[in-house]
Structure 1
Amino acid sequence: MQPVRTIIFAKAPRPGLAKTRLIPALNAEGAANLARRMLDSTVDSALAAELGPIELRVTPAIDTPEWHGVTLPSAVAIGEQGAGDLGARLARAAEQAVARGETVLLIGTDCVEMSAALLREAAAALRRHDAVLYPTVDGGYALLGLNRYHPLLFSDIAWSTDTVAFDTTCRIARLGWSLRQGSMLHDVDEPADLRRLPAAWVSPGGVITTSV
C-alpha cells in the first residue's frame, strides 16, 4: 500500500486576510477567529486520521508576520503554496507527492465536516480507485485524492465557480481513470454558511471562539 500524504492548504488566519467574505457578518477579527478555528480543526482531523505524513502549505510564507503567534503541531511539515493560481499550487503539491510514490489527499480548511473518519474513508477509496473527490454544495470540492498525477486536472479550471467539481470529474473521465465520488459536503465561505458551524464554536453572544 502506498503511503498517504495529507496536504492542507491554508491562508494565515489574520484579520483582513482570511475569510474576508465573512467580514460583513463577523467583522474582520471574527472572520480571522473562525479561520483559526477551522485551521486547527482540520489539522487535528488529519493528525487523528493517522494516515501518514501531514503537510501544511501556507500563504504567505510561515516566517512572515502574518503567522506570528500561530502555533502548529511539530508533526506537521510546513511548506509554501508558491506562485500561480490555485490550480498551479494544487498541481505542484500533487505532482511532488505522486513523484515520491505517495497517495495524496488535497484539502483546504473551509469544510466543517472534514474529519478523521472522512479522511480515512477517502484513503480507503484510493486503494481501489485512481482518484476520489468530495464535492461541495457550491460546486467546488473539499477533498481531491489521487494515486496518479496529470496537469489536466488543474489547468484552465474556473476556480471559485460552481463548475469546479464537474469540470474536474469530467477531466478524470477523459483520462480514463477510475473515480470514487464521496458525499456532498459544505464549505463555510459566505454569511449564509455560518449556520453550518458546530454550536460549540459560537458563544452565546454570537462570537466565534478560538480553539482551546
Structure 2
Amino acid sequence: MIRVNNLCKTVVTGGQQLDILKGISFEIKGGESVAIVGASGAGKSTLLGLLAGLDNASSGDIFLHEQNISVMTEDQRAALRARHVGFVFQSFQLLPGMTALENVMLPLELAGHRSPAIEAKKFLDKVGLAERGGHYPRVLSGGEQQRVALARAFAVSPDILFADEPTGNLDEHTGQRIIDLLFELNSQSKTTLVLVTHEAVLAQRCERTLVMHDGLLREEPATGTTL
C-alpha cells in the first residue's frame, strides 16, 4: 500500500542546510494502522506531507498503490489523492463559509458522487452530528468540528487516511472520544491509517509505531522494549 525507499528531505534555513529526513525506508501494508511518533521538530509532519504528496522530497521514492508519486506532477498527485486518500488535521481545516453538511459533501462532489448530500448526511449521523448539518464551523465546538472532519475524511471511502495530531487541539475527554470514533470508523472501512501524534494513548491503539529521531526512523517493538 505504501512503500518508501531512501527518502531524504533537505531545506536551507538561515543560510544553513538542514537535513530533516536522512534516507529512511519502510513499508505499510494495506489495512494497517501505524503511528508516527517523536519529539517536536523530528520531521513527523514533514514525512506525512511527503507520503501524501503534498510536498516534494529531495531524493528517494514513495509508492502509493504501486505508483511512484515522487515522479508525478502536482496534478497527477492531486488526482491520486482524490481517488485514494483522506486527511484529518489538528486544526480541522473546515471551510468556514460552508455548513457542516456542505463541508462533508465537498469531496464527494469533487469525486463525482451521485448523491453527495445523502452520503454526507449518513456520515454525519455516524459521528453523531445528524442534527448539526446546517451549522457553520464557527458555532461548533472543537470536538464537533473534528467529528465533521472525520465524517468528511471517511465519506469518500479512502484507501489511506493520513491524520496529523487529530486530538492536538482537544481536551482529554473530547480527544478520547475522537480517538474512539477514529478507530471505529477505520475498522468499519478497512482503511490504511497513518497518523502523527504526541499522544501515547493514541499511538498504543495502532498496530505499529514508527519513531522519528534526528531525521531517522525506527520501529518500536510491540513488546515496548527499546531497539
TM-score, scaled relative to structure 1:
0.31
Q: TM-score, normalised by structure 2?
A: 0.29
Higher strand share: 2
**Structure whose alpha-carbon radius of gyration is higher:** 2
RCO comparison, higher one (Cα < 8 Å, 6+) = 2
